[in-house]
């Protein structure tokens, strides 16, 4: 008798098509629902209430949609009526189907996550061994948003032994809790300087759990870890050094004695930048040099070549300004480079001559800890991004493939009862078969891509024309419904390159791309093979020239960069050209795309591949 505009929009009818049609006659448009609707009408006629019904109905254009139907009996003065409220729930049903179908794909991702987690745990164990080695206490703590130190979130075993706290007790303390006086409370410029300079060194007195005062030298370094500002403080017990300094005030002779037994390198330079004094014991112990090796010399060979110019400038400046501070590498006599924290201070001797005192402390272990922290974070981020990449890939591309198969299956179930639709059924079956192949190819490409990322694949001497011939045959067999004209243009008959079994994937993926993105009745592909020299290296140049839709300039690089940074957009990632790029890079080759006709991308594309030639 009546319907609202939502009904006509939902099913594609005009209101005039529906008014006056018998209830069951109207539902005759939804062929498979008639028996069920008859039973529901009988219940309504008897005055029984009905539960909501979820069914699939056909629209006027033949498409199926899922709907939820609420039916009720209305008794009015003018008569008794049946009211049906119909809600389109197609999206909800499709999402439920996708969730069920995605579970198997997610199992693969879970296995990769477990593998990466195991690798990270092994890396963490190595870091712990390094972290707890050496003779200094190490504290790691975060910087809060308002620029203050937070509680410790990591300490090494030496810190626990030296201060008398357990690790759990330390995790409830902040840097200021072990200082006396409260260094972080009375020196507001400390955090400001640390944040601006990223590095600060100072001395103060700590207090152990038992109340014992402990003179220390704290070397704090600010860096990013886990996306947050983090400080690693290496705390050295300088009790003996402080005692030595006290004694130095009493006697210069005592100073020399203690200097010779210090663990730091101590050198004195004159204004000609020549070494006048070294504490020989520490030099022999740490870098293997004696007095005879260094006295009267500048010691140029001890300085890393990359830092030599900077060191000379700093020393000259320090002789004028009074001091300098840097971190750098000093060469051991055996050729090994060791990291030191180097501090220079100028003074005048009894005769008024300007001298430069340089004290160098071995910080190799701290540098190793920082590098390992950074490597651990990078490995974690890389594993996390790769897992997200594969998850997004399966969630997006596989859902598209499965949705296409599902839609084709629904149409097939409708056409199978109609002999006149056999031709359409053949086309539907072809579509479903192609979607299955597409899904299998996607899985295979992911496996190959993962293998390329995780391992180094060996190469061997490979004759390229045999591989290219097999690729041409495979692609033609896969597109028998298309008219394809492939022409080879080469004066070369046989040539070898260093490659492997993935070489055929390069050719097949490029050829498939040329065919799929071609709307012409006849696909034309010219394969031109030549030899070129680039940067004194010999390359085999392969050009795949097609008459397809072409590629705009703003997408010529994007098509090879289907990585986690780009996200999931468009009609599906496919991985074809991304895989091609990675394989060619593993061969030390190159790939790019140009317009077939320069300046007009719509006339077709030219994919150019360079592979190093074997002499």
CATH of the domain at 490: 3.30.565.10
The confidence score (pLDDT) of residue 407 equals 76
Residue 319 phi, psi dihedral angles, 5° rounding: -65, -20
- Rounded Cα gap, residues 86 and 226, in angstroms: 51
* In the block, residue with structure tokens 């690693």: 232
- Residue 422 forms part of a structural domain: yes
**Angle (CA) 549 552 556, round 5°:** 110
| 20 domain residue, yes or no | yes
CA angle 137, 140, 146 (to 5 degrees): 135
- Residue 585 above 80 pLDDT? yes
- Is it the case that residue 426 has pLDDT exceeding 60? yes
Q: Are residues 321 and 335 in the same domain?
A: yes
Same-domain check for residues 461 and 483: yes
- CA–CA dist 58, 80 (Å, integer): 28
Backbone phi and psi for residue 608, each to the nearest 5 degrees, phi listed first: -115, 125
Q: What is the mean pLDDT of residues 206-226?
A: 88
**With contact defined as beta carbons under 8 Å apart, do 278 and 266 qualify?**
yes
> Do both 468 and 525 map to the same domain?
yes
Rg of the chain in Å (alpha carbons) = 38
372: in domain: no
The one-character DSSP state at 394 is I
452 confidence band (pLDDT: 50, 70, 90): low
Residue 579's CB is within 10 A of a number of other CB atoms, namely 22
Q: How far apart are CA 257 and CA 463, in angstroms?
A: 74
329 and 429 assigned to the same domain: no
Check whether 547 has a pLDDT greater than 80.
yes
Helices (H), 12-166: 15-18, 23-27, 34-45, 90-131, 157-163
| Whether residues 403 and 263 fall in one domain | no
Are 494 and 473 members of one domain? yes
Query: Does residue 31 sit within a domain?
Result: yes
Q: Is residue 107 part of a domain?
A: yes
422 plus 328 within the same structural domain = no
Among 55, 88, 121, the domain-final residue is: 88
Reading the block at residue 145, the tokens are 């948003």
State pTM to two decimals: 0.37
Q: Which range is most confident: 148-157, 234-243, 540-549? A: 540-549
Query: Residue 390 is inside which H or E element, if any?
Result: helix 364-393
Portion of the chain with pLDDT greater than 90, in percent = 19
Is 594 or 427 the better-scoring residue by pLDDT?
594
pLDDT tens sequence across 230-263 = 998 899 999 888 887 776 566 556 556 656 667 8
Q: 592 and 504, same structural domain? A: yes
Does position 185 have pLDDT exceeding 50, yes or no? no
- pLDDT for res 529: 94
Summarize the confidence of residues 127-132 as an average pLDDT.
56
Mean per-residue pLDDT for 498-527?
90
| Residue 453 confidence class, pLDDT cut points 50, 70, 90 | low
Tell me if 374 is assigned to some domain: no
- Decide if 367 is inside a domain: no
Same-domain pairing of 249 and 333: yes
Domain boundary (56, 88, 120) is at 88
Rounded mean pLDDT of 349-363?
A: 85
Is the distance from CB of 31 to CB of 58 less than 8 angstroms?
A: yes
* Domain final residue, candidates 362, 397, 412: 362
User: Which of 57-61, 182-186, 460-464 has the least mean pLDDT?
Assistant: 182-186
What mean pLDDT is predicted for residues 286-295? 91
The CB-based long-range contact list for 433-440 (8 Å cut-off, 24+ gap) reads 435/401, 435/404, 435/405, 435/408, 436/405, 437/478, 438/401, 439/398, 439/401, 439/402
pLDDT of 569: 35
The top-scoring range by mean pLDDT among 120-124, 338-342, 368-372 is: 338-342
Helix ranges, 171-324 (H): 183-186, 189-197, 239-250, 252-260, 280-286, 291-294, 308-321
Whether 371 maps to a domain, the answer reads no
| Residue 573, pLDDT score | 37
Q: Which domain holds residue 138?
A: 132-237
pLDDT surpassing 50 at residue 186: no
For the cut 80, the answer to whether the pLDDT of residue 324 exceeds it is: yes
pLDDT bucket at 597, cuts 50 / 70 / 90: very high
If you average pLDDT over every residue of the chain, what do you get? 80
Q: Which helix (H) or strand (E) holds 224?
A: strand 213-225
Higher per-residue pLDDT: 86 or 21:
86
**pLDDT of amino acid 590:** 94
pLDDT at 574 over 50: no
321: CATH:
3.30.450.20
The Cα angle at residue 196 between residues 195 and 197, in degrees rounded to 5: 100
pLDDT for 56-108, tens place per residue? 777 888 788 888 888 877 778 888 788 889 899 888 888 887 877 777 777 77
What's the pLDDT score for residue 428? 78
Quick one: average pLDDT of 127-156?
A: 80
Mapped onto helix, strand or coil, the DSSP state of residue 561 is: coil
pLDDT digits (tens, 9 = 90+) for 28-42: 445 555 666 677 777
Same domain, 583 and 461: yes
Higher pLDDT, 392 or 146: 146
Residues 215, 67, single domain; the answer is no
Q: Which of 130-139, 272-281, 506-515 has the lowest mean pLDDT?
A: 130-139
Indicate if 139 and 171 belong to the same structural domain: yes
Q: How many domains does the chain have?
A: 5
């Amino acid at each position: 008798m009546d319907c609202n505009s939502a009904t006509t929009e939902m099913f594609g009818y005009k209101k005039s098509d529906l008014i006056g049609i018998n209830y069951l006659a109207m539902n005759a448009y939804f062929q498979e629902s008639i028996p069920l609707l008859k039973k529901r009408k009988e219940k309504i006629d008897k005055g029984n209430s009905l539960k909501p019904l979820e069914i699939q109905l056909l629209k006027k254009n033949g498409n199926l949609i899922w709907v939820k139907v609420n039916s009720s009996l209305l008794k009015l003065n003018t008569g008794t009526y049946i009211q049906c409220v119909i809600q389109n729930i197609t999206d909800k049903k499709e999402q439920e189907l996708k969730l069920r179908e995605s579970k198997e794909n997610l199992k693969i991702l879970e296995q990769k996550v477990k593998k990466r987690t195991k690798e990270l745990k092994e890396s963490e164990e190595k870091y712990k061994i390094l972290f707890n080695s050496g003779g200094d206490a190490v504290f790691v703590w975060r910087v809060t948003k308002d620029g203050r130190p937070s509680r410790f979130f990591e300490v090494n075993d030496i810190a626990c032994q030296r201060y008398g706290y357990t690790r759990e007790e330390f995790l409830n303390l902040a840097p200021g809790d072990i200082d006396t006086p409260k260094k972080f409370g009375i020196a507001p410029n400390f955090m400001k300087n640390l944040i601006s300079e990223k590095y600060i060194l100072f001395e103060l007195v700590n207090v152990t759990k038992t109340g014992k005062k402990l003179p220390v030298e704290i070397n704090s370094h600010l860096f990013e870890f886990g996306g947050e500002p983090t400080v690693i403080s290496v705390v050295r017990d300088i009790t003996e050094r402080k005692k030595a300094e006290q004694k130095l005030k009493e006697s210069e002779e005592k100073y020399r004695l203690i200097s010779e037994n210090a663990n730091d390198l101590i050198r004195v330079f004159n204004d000609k930048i020549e070494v006048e004094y070294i504490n020989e014991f520490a030099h022999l112990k740490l870098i293997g040099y004696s007095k005879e090796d260094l006295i009267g010399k500048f010691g140029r060979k001890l300085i890393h070549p990359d830092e030599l110019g900077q060191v000379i400038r700093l020393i000259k400046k320090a002789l004028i300004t009074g001091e300098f501070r840097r971190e750098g590498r000093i060469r051991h006599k055996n050729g090994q480079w060791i990291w030191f924290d180097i501090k220079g201070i100028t003074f005048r001797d009894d005769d008024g001559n300007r001298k430069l005192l340089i004290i160098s402390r071995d910080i190799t272990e701290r540098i190793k800890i920082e590098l390992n922290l950074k490597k651990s974070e990078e490995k974690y981020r890389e594993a996390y991004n790769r897992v997200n990449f594969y998850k997004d890939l399966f969630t997006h591309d596989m859902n598209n493939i499965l949705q296409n198969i599902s839609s084709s299956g629904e149409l097939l179930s409708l056409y199978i009862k109609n002999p006149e639709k056999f031709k359409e059924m053949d086309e539907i079956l072809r579509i479903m078969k192609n979607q299955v192949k597409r899904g299998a190819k996607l899985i295979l490409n992911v496996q190959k891509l993962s293998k390329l990322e995780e391992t180094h694949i060996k190469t061997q001497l490979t004759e390229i024309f045999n591989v290219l011939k097999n690729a041409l045959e495979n692609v033609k067999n896969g597109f028998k419904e298309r008219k394809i004209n492939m022409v080879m243009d080469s004066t070369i008959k046989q040539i070898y390159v260093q490659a492997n079994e993935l070489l055929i994937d390069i050719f097949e993926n490029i050829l498939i791309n040329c065919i799929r993105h071609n709307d012409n009745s006849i696909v034309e592909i010219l394969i031109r093979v030549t030899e070129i020299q680039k940067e004194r290296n010999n390359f085999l140049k392969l050009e795949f020239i097609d008459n397809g839709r072409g590629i705009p300039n703003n997408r010529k690089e994007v098509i090879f960069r289907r990585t986690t940074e780009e996200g999931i957009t468009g009609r599906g990632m496919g991985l074809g050209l991304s895989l091609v790029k990675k394989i060619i890079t593993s061969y030390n080759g190159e790939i790019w795309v140009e317009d077939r006709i320069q300046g007009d991308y719509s006339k077709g594309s030219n994919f150019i591949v360079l592979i190093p030639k074997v002499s």
